[in-house]
Amino acid sequence: MGFACREAGCAKERSSFHVHPSSFYNVSAMPTDILLVSVARAVVEVAGTLMLGQGVLWIFGPKARDGNFIYDLFKKGTAPVVKVTRIITPRFVHDAHIPLVAFMLLVWLWIGLAIWRRHLCISQGLQC
């Protein structure tokens, strides 16, 4: 709306931007399958970051870990990933190596989800 219209009082040119409550998600902007893969990848990123933080605190030794609130928070956040990794790995893998195996699985899952998302974007002609 220009300066001349304000002086003349143009009512036709004034349009209020109204968003319908049911249109918060624009399907044409990002299809549902790409959205779900992106959300899964974000969850894997959070789990991987928690595992990295836990690993950094583990390097500082037992005095830094015992009773540390942040370390306990990281441990609770990564417990589901470690449990699933223990279930899917053979018994001959030592329990001390399970967090490292879990982290490597998260890395490969993150890479796989990135490739899958890229494939979905290319197949739908989108630039993601």
How many C-beta neighbours within 10 Å does residue 56 have? 12
Burial degree of 53 (CB within 10 A; 0-12, 13-18, 19+): middle
Taking the domains of the chain in order of start, what are their residue ranges? 48-128
Q: What is the mean pLDDT of the chain?
A: 84
Q: What is the pLDDT of residue 31?
A: 84
Pick the closest to residue 98 from 125, 116, 78, 115 (CA basis): 78
- Specify the pTM: 0.72
Beta strands in 1-128 (DSSP E): none
In the structure encoding, which two tokens stand for residue 41, read together? 């990848």
What contacts 84, CB < 8 A, 6 or more positions away? 102
What pLDDT, in 10s, does the model give residues 85-109? 999 999 999 999 999 999 999 999 9
Q: What is the pLDDT of residue 18?
A: 56
